[in-house]
Structure formats: structure tokens, C-alpha cells
């Protein structure tokens, strides 16, 4: 059974700083690793998807990396802004009888102006 | 960008009532999903569908049922609501990607259910 862990559960960072969010997964037999953003009271927005054969993906100020062998992924946010404040979730797509996403509990990020 | 809608956004209801949470998407996606999320906890898949007349149970056991009569609709029903059903319910959809395992799920805004 796949388990996804995100540490820390909450993080506060001054505006303008670069930061890294961590995600770990127990079973390296994944198809892809995805990062989502969730704003309070809203659904999830997909940020980045990294295929199992890839090492990283970039979108604007966001860069996600994947190390399957160690069961880790990181989301790097450059030059943080108050609008980046949200909960960030990672999810691993695995095949345990059916292809499904296993989500972590998320890291609640607060950017301090 | 996918458009996926959920109604109601918030629902407060008494124990024993029957409720239906609506989910609809306008992108013609074949795959649709229902997740349950408690505050501060991870999302758990409770139902999914790969197309019309296809429904499967997810990992988390749920007393709810779903139907998929039309591609765009994937309603979730609780025949008799209980306080233990209090949670947030998120609907999502995805389309078949020509590139293997490149599917992104698009989420609705969620329904926050409170059963008294």
C-alpha cells in the first residue's frame, strides 16, 4: 500500500525568500508524482506533474523534482509572494489493482508580507 | 482549463435525511472521481468512474453510492445521513491522455457537508 508523507505540516516564510516543500512516498513503483495547490474552502489546482521517467518539471517560479529510488519529491518555490499562501499537496499515481492517486496531508504555507 | 462544478457548496442537514451531492463537468472527460477530505487530513478516493454506466468503489469504504448515466454528471447519494458523514467531498475529472500516465485531474470546489 502506498503512503505519502509531507513534512512539515505548516511553514511560514517571509516574502521574497525561496523555499522547498518535501514529499516522500513508500512505494517507488509510481507512474507519476503530482503537486497540487488548495486554497481555503476550494478544490485542488494542479501545479506540476512529473512522469516516473523524469527528474524534474518547471512552471514559472515552481520547480518540482523527483527521486524515485529514494522515494522523494520536492517543490521549490522561488521568490515567494503572499499569493503563494495555500496548502500544497503531493500525490503519487500508483497501480494497486487500479491506477489511483494517493495524497499526502499537505503543507500549509504562509508567506509573510 | 476544465470546468467542473459541484452543488451545493455547503450543506447542513439533519440525521436520517437523504442527500445528493451534484458534480458536473463540461469537458467531456470520461473519468470522474469522488474524494472525501476531513480537515487537515489527506484526500481519500471513495468512488470513481471510467465512463457511462461504469462505477467502482475507491479505497475508503463509504456508505454513499454513485451513478454515471451521463458523461457529464456523477452524483453522489447518501440514503440516510449521519454525523459521521460530516466532511468535505471533492469531485474530480480527467481525460484520457495520448501520453501514458500524463493525466491531470481537475477538481471542483467541493461540498462541505455537516450532518447534525
DSSP single-letter state for residue A96:
S
C-alpha cell at B37: 477530505
Which one has a higher pLDDT value, B10 or A41? B10
A41 — pLDDT class (breaks 50, 70, 90):
confident
- Cβ burial of B94 (10 Å; 0-12, 13-18, 19+) is buried
Q: Which three cell numbers stand for residue B90?
A: 471533492
B3 touches A at CB < 8 Å: no
Contact check, Cβ <8 Å, B40/A93: no
Residue of B nearest to A95 (CA): B101
Judged by a CB distance cut-off of 8 A, whether residue A3 touches chain B is no
pLDDT per residue as tens, chain B (116 positions): 558 999 999 999 999 999 999 999 999 999 999 999 998 888 999 999 999 999 999 888 788 999 999 999 999 999 999 999 999 999 999 887 666 666 788 999 999 999 99
Give me the residue from A9, A44, A99 closest to B107, CB to CB: A44
- Alpha-carbon span A20 to A37, nearest angstrom: 14
Cβ-defined contact of B102 to A51 (cutoff 8 Å): yes
**Residue owning grid cell 451513478:** B67
Window 30-89 of B, Cβ < 8 Å to A: 40-45, 48, 56, 58-59
Amino acid at each position: 500500500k502506498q503512503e505519502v508523507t509531507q513534512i512539515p505540516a505548516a511553514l511560514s516564510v517571509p516574502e521574497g525568500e525561496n523555499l522547498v516543500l518535501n514529499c516522500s512516498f513508500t512505494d517507488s513503483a509510481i507512474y507519476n508524482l503530482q503537486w497540487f495547490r488548495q486554497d481555503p474552502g476550494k478544490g485542488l489546482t494542479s501545479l506540476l506533474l512529473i512522469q516516473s521517467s523524469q527528474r524534474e518539471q518547471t512552471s514559472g517560479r515552481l520547480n518540482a523534482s523527483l527521486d524515485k529510488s529514494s522515494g522523494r519529491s520536492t517543490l521549490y518555490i522561488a521568490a515567494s509572494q503572499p499569493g503563494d499562501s495555500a496548502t500544497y499537496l503531493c500525490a503519487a499515481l500508483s497501480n494497486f489493482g487500479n491506477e489511483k492517486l494517493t495524497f499526502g496531508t499537505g503543507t500549509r504555507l504562509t508567506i509573510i508580507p | 482549463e476544465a470546468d467542473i462544478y459541484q452543488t451545493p457548496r455547503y450543506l447542513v442537514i439533519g440525521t436520517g435525511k437523504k442527500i445528493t451531492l451534484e458534480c458536473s463537468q463540461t469537458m467531456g472527460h470520461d473519468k470522474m472521481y469522488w474524494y472525501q477530505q476531513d480537515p487537515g487530513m489527506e484526500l481519500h478516493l471513495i468512488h470513481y468512474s471510467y465512463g457511462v454506466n461504469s462505477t467502482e468503489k475507491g479505497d475508503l469504504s463509504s456508505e454513499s453510492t454513485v451513478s454515471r448515466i451521463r458523461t457529464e454528471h456523477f452524483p453522489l447519494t447518501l440514503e440516510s445521513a449521519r454525523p459521521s458523514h460530516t466532511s468535505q467531498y471533492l469531485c474530480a475529472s480527467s481525460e484520457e491522455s495520448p501520453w501514458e500516465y500524463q493525466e491531470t485531474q481537475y477538481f471542483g470546489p467541493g461540498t462541505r457537508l455537516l450532518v447534525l
